[in-house]
Amino acid sequence: MQPDLEVVSLHTDASFAAWAHGYPYRTVRWHFHPEYEIHLVTATHGRAFVGDHVGTFEPGNLILTGPNLPHNWISDVPPGSSIPERGLIVQFGEPFVRRCLDTFPEMSYVADLLKDAEMGVEFSAEDGAAAEPLLREMLTAQGVRRLALFFALIDVLHRSTSKRILSSRVYRSDPATYMAQPLNIVLDYIASNFRSDLREAEMAELSGYTLAAFSRAFRRHAGVSFVHYVNSMRIKRACDMLIADETRIAEICFHVGFNNLSNFNRQFLAHKGMAPRDFRRHHRVNATLAETATIPMPSAVREPRRRGTGENRSAYP
């Protein structure tokens, strides 16, 4: 079975995406994306599939996957169960990593880790415990604080002494073949054109399906209807803009592809449980509180003050 494409929405003013999801959720399927992913399981047990690896997971399971490496986590829960939060996720693209490697000589120490990510890397429960507070704060952090948390997280992964490669050395992902699948072509088109007036009949034609067959196949593929999927992508972009600056809500509405403010407000309320203005206000409060927090650094970074030297030496290479 070919993996489905997951479209990762990265704001133009952000270097990476940080988010949480429950179970079931639309991305809980055999899927791939061009971005690296750091995934921490916070609830449920089950089976993990990464490339040609099949294993188990439990709360605290921390895994790094590389670009286009198919993966999935399937929880062992009774049918119909709902889990508010199952995992914390950070996703970042290769261009961002390349810029970091070119700009910061210190990043050269993680080059091997990023290479191993092509096959998937699993970390210890202790590493998962160290990563969790960083991941949680990333959900609301802004500006330089957000970057500081990211580099602290990468440091946890780099310094781990209990990590293992998941997929076999002979396993190779094949993104060109994955993208040849009709519905992956549609998802890629939607990601590039979600601000346009997208019509389901036109997407059905692009995929080669009849309209009825496309509607059924799209719901199976994405977990939601075509209209819900497009609106979710637009709302996600609107949230990014509400967080980033003080752009007027009416301007955001039309920028992300809605054709009237009433529909935008209605869809935003349905997806987020609050109005756009309240979302912006709540995020501002969270961001203000986060500014006073401190980054919990990995214990390996801390080194006692040397006697008689009056200095505190860093444990970094």
Q: Return the HEC string of 248-306.
A: CHHHHHHHCCCCCHHHHHHHHHHHHCCCHHHHHHHHHHHHHHHCCCCCCCCHHHCCCCC
With bands split at pLDDT 50, 70 and 90, how would you rate the model's confidence at 175? Answer: confident
For residue 166, give the nearest of 88, 51, 276 by alpha carbon: 51
Quick check: 313 pLDDT over 90? no
Cα–Cα separations (whole angstroms), residue 35 to 67, 97, 193: 5, 10, 20
Tell me the whole-structure pTM to 2 decimals: 0.70
What CATH class has 175-287? mainly alpha
Quick check: 118 pLDDT over 70? yes
Cα–Cα separations (whole angstroms), residue 273 to 64, 225, 269: 31, 19, 5
pLDDT of residue 302: 44
- The H or E element that residue 244 is part of is helix 226-244
Q: What does the angle CA 219 – CA 235 – CA 5 come to, to the nearest 5 degrees? A: 40
pLDDT of residue 222: 77
Dihedral pair phi/psi, residue 139, rounded to 5°: -60, -30
With bands split at pLDDT 50, 70 and 90, how would you rate the model's confidence at 290? Answer: low
**How many angstroms separate the first and last alpha carbons of the chain?**
44
Tell me the pLDDT tens digit for each residue of 224-244: 899 998 998 899 889 888 887
Instruction: Tell me the C-alpha distance between 94 and 220, whole Å.
Output: 29
Quick check: 268 pLDDT over 70? yes
With bands split at pLDDT 50, 70 and 90, how would you rate the model's confidence at 95? Answer: very high
Reading the block at residue 55, the tokens are 């294993």
Residue 16: strand, helix, or coil? strand
User: Mean pLDDT across the chain, nearest whole number?
Assistant: 86
Q: What percent of the chain has pLDDT over 90?
A: 60
CB-CB contact of 22 with 141 (8 Å): no
In which residue ranges of the chain is CATH 1.10.10.60 found?
175-287
- Residue 148 burial (10 A CB sphere; 0-12, 13-18, 19+): middle
Instruction: Count the Cβ atoms, other than its own, within 10 Å of residue 3.
Output: 23
CATH superfamily to which 4-165 belongs: Regulatory protein AraC (2.60.120.280)
pLDDT of residue 97: 93
Cα–Cα separations (whole angstroms), residue 47 to 41, 56, 75, 275: 12, 4, 7, 38
pLDDT of residue 292: 58
In which residue ranges of the chain is CATH 2.60.120.280 found?
4-165
Residue with tokens 């996703």: 91
CB-CB contact of 142 with 287 (8 Å): yes
Q: Who contacts 23 (Cβ-Cβ below 8 Å, separation ≥6)?
A: 43, 44, 75, 77, 81, 82, 83, 86
User: Whats the size of the chain, residue-wise?
Assistant: 317
Quick check: 307 pLDDT over 80? no
With bands split at pLDDT 50, 70 and 90, how would you rate the model's confidence at 293? Answer: low
